[in-house]
Amino acid sequence: MVRPWGAGVLTILGAFFILAGGFFVALVGAVLAIFGVGSELFLLGLLVGLMTLVVGLLMIALPSGHMVWGILAIGLAVVSIAVALGGFLLGFLLTLLGGILAVRWRRPAERFVTVEGHRVPPPLE
């Protein structure tokens, strides 16, 4: 089965950078909690990183939903800027590129054989 491998791999790589950025933000939040500034918002970066990782895996596992996974990846990449420092910008760029590739991905056209046994190219769209 044909799958959007490039989109999935880029999104998964971006997710690891977003997780690293989310871990850094959570660490800063833990240090601030020592001084009395407590907030659960510091953990959102880790949550966005995990969700991005799941979306990247779903791109490869369920290619029929490539449009939904691509849109979710683009949205999570944008959200990661605010909650995970964009995965140090590299995670944002990789996830954004993976999401765009997933949205633009098309299943290759099947070649078909006519009654005479000649190969005919697929129709142009």
Residue 34, φ and ψ in degrees, nearest 5: -60, -35
Nearest to 11 by CA among 64, 62, 49, 63: 49
Per-position DSSP letters for 62-117, written without gaps between them: -GGGHHHHHHHHHHHHHHHHHHSHHHHTHHHHHHHHHHHHHHH--PPPPPEE-TTS
Tokens coding 107: 């299943």
Nearest to 77 by CA among 47, 49, 40, 46: 49
Q: Is residue 86 part of a domain?
A: yes
Query: How many domains does the structure of the chain reveal?
Result: 1
Q: Which domain holds residue 16?
A: 5-105
Q: What does the pLDDT read at residue 107?
A: 85
Q: Is residue 117 part of a domain?
A: no
Q: Which residues pair with 104 in a beta bridge?
A: none
pTM of the model: 0.84
Q: Is residue 55 part of a domain?
A: yes
Q: Is residue 111 part of a domain?
A: no
Q: Is residue 120 part of a domain?
A: no
Q: How many of the other CB atoms lie within 10 Å of CB of 42? A: 21
Contacts of 21 (CB under 8 A, 6+ apart): 45, 49, 80, 84, 85, 86, 87, 88, 91
Q: Is residue 112 part of a domain?
A: no
pLDDT in tens, the chain (125 residues): 789 999 999 999 999 999 999 999 999 999 988 888 877 788 899 999 999 999 999 999 999 999 999 999 999 999 999 999 999 999 999 999 999 999 999 988 776 655 566 666 667 76
